[in-house]
Structure 1
Amino acid sequence: MAGTGTTSRRERLRIETTAEIKDTALRLMASGGPGAITLRAIAREMGMTPNAIYGYFATRDDLVTTLINDVYTSLADTVEAAVAPAPTTDAGGRIQRWGHAYRTWVFTNTEGFRLIYGDAVPGYVPPSDGAAPEAELRFCKSLTELAAAAWPHAEHLYADSDFEWSDFDPALLDEVRPHLPGLPPAAVALALRIWGHLHGLVTLEIHGHLRGGTKSMDKLFKEELAQLVRSLTIPTEN
């Protein structure tokens, strides 16, 4: 039993140290930009030797890949949980729940947001298979599910659409099409349109570009969501 207890303590210490390494990396990025993420800098901040930190992450890129996966997992969990209570028939409600959850997540995870949507980490090389993180695909699928709920109302807006499946990333389609087999290519474009509206406004806000224009970002974002729903001719459920 003593051996089991020792192993458990070691595992807890490893988990705690790994979490501290990741938190330190994001803090360094927040203060010094993406280029500030180095294993030596993290080791110095934590009072570790460089050799010790290599026992947790063999390379800086391994750490960055882990951080990206963690950030997308947190984001995907957040928007999925926000939308889950809304019935699939309430397309407008699902868009609004998703949008507000996304904005809240961004402002409580600013370093993570900048990691995945800001300047690239200099010299970072993704895993050799080139595949997007699984959680990133989950996040994209949640967007496409919004479009699927809206599509019966918005389909007429895309009557002249000439989108084809070849216009979209194969990895995304592999994730989406088995789950939503009846969805046409134009509905995937609709998902990207919804994303563009919400992400664009949040990005302007988080970088401070709207400070001189309004003191009521909550109202502006809420109105943008409402206008988006109306533009898709989605009826409002009481």
Structure 2
Amino acid sequence: MKSATTRSTTGRRERLRAETTAEIKKVALALMASGGPDAITLRAIAREMGMTANAIYGYFATRDDLVTTLINDVYTSLADAVDAAWGAAAEQKPASRIQAWAHAFRAWALANPEGFRLVYGDPVPGYRAPEGGAAPDAARRVCTGLAGLADTAWPHAEHLYAGSEFDWSDFDAGLLAKVRPAFPDLPPAAVALALRIWGHLHGLVSLEVYGHLRTQTVSPDKLFKEELAALVRSLGIAPNA
């Protein structure tokens, strides 16, 4: 049986390790924000933190291990944010649910610009994700959330896509493996609709995160709200004020 002193020492060691790991990840994202994806190297992080290269390898064996952890953390954070907004709006009208998810996505991106750039910007040069992807569960939750938007809109929008030529062969098998079990009744046209919704939301948010709207408008929030309202109307749904 471990003594109180041993337990205290072990707990302190684990706490310090967790704190150092968190700092490594924070520094990695800061380096990427200032120098681009290829700025993430273990040696550069060690230099920023005043550590030796050998010491940092005790936390992450390779640069790819660190990037995989970062991607998983980022996707999990995003999935938690949009899932919470979607759940909170569960009893509301379709427009409210779609708008809640979209606003949560934008709010998360603006609060986590480095994370947004890591998963939706330029890829990290030379990075090789593990088999199954860097964040299979969290990424699946985000994809399922987008399919949920289409599922909510489809009863109102189906007649608008009666002439759609999409079939299942038009989509990536990995995407379908995530979406079809959750929404088995959605047709191919609805999956395409989910991707179009994603394009609308992602476009403006990307411009804002990368700073391209700063010299164009002082009210990017109004621009996003009106674009979102137009998107909802295009689905045959009256948007909320």
Query: Which TM bucket (shorter chain)?
Result: over 0.9
Picking from 61, 76, 79, the partner of 1:76 is: 79
Within 1, Cα distance between the matches of 2:215 and 2:23? 37
Q: Is the 8 A contact 2:99 2:228 kept in 1?
A: yes
Pairing of 1:194-209 with structure 2 (within 5 A):
194-209=197-212
Asked if residue 181 in structure 1 is aligned to residue 192 in structure 2, the reply is: no
Picking from 85, 88, 93, the partner of 2:88 is: 85
Q: Number of residue pairs matched?
A: 238
Within 1, Cα distance between the matches of 2:57 and 2:191? 42
Q: 1:151 to 1:121 in 2, by over 3 A?
A: same
RMSD over equivalenced CA pairs, Å: 1.8
Asked if residue 223 in structure 1 is aligned to residue 226 in structure 2, the reply is: yes
SS in 1 for 2:88: coil
Who is 1:13 aligned against?
16
Asked if residue 67 in structure 1 is aligned to residue 75 in structure 2, the reply is: no
Partner deviation per Cα, 1:161-190 (whole Å, 9 max, x = no partner): 121222222222222222211111111111
Identity %: 71
Q: Is the 8 A contact 2:94 2:152 kept in 1?
A: yes
Q: Is the 8 A contact 2:147 2:179 kept in 1?
A: yes
Within 2, Cα distance between the matches of 1:88 and 1:154? 20
SS in 2 for 1:84: helix
Within 2, Cα distance between the matches of 1:121 and 1:10? 32
Q: Which runs of 5+ in 1 are unaligned?
A: none
Who is 2:104 aligned against?
101
Q: Is the 8 A contact 2:69 2:134 kept in 1?
A: no
Within 2, Cα distance between the matches of 1:237 and 1:201? 20
Structure 1 segments (4+ residues) deviating >3 Å? 128-132, 235-238
Greater displacement, 142-151 / 6-15: 6-15
Q: TM-score, normalised by structure 2?
A: 0.92
Q: Is the 8 A contact 1:89 1:149 kept in 2?
A: no
Who is 2:139 aligned against?
136
Within 1, Cα distance between the matches of 2:120 and 2:179? 22
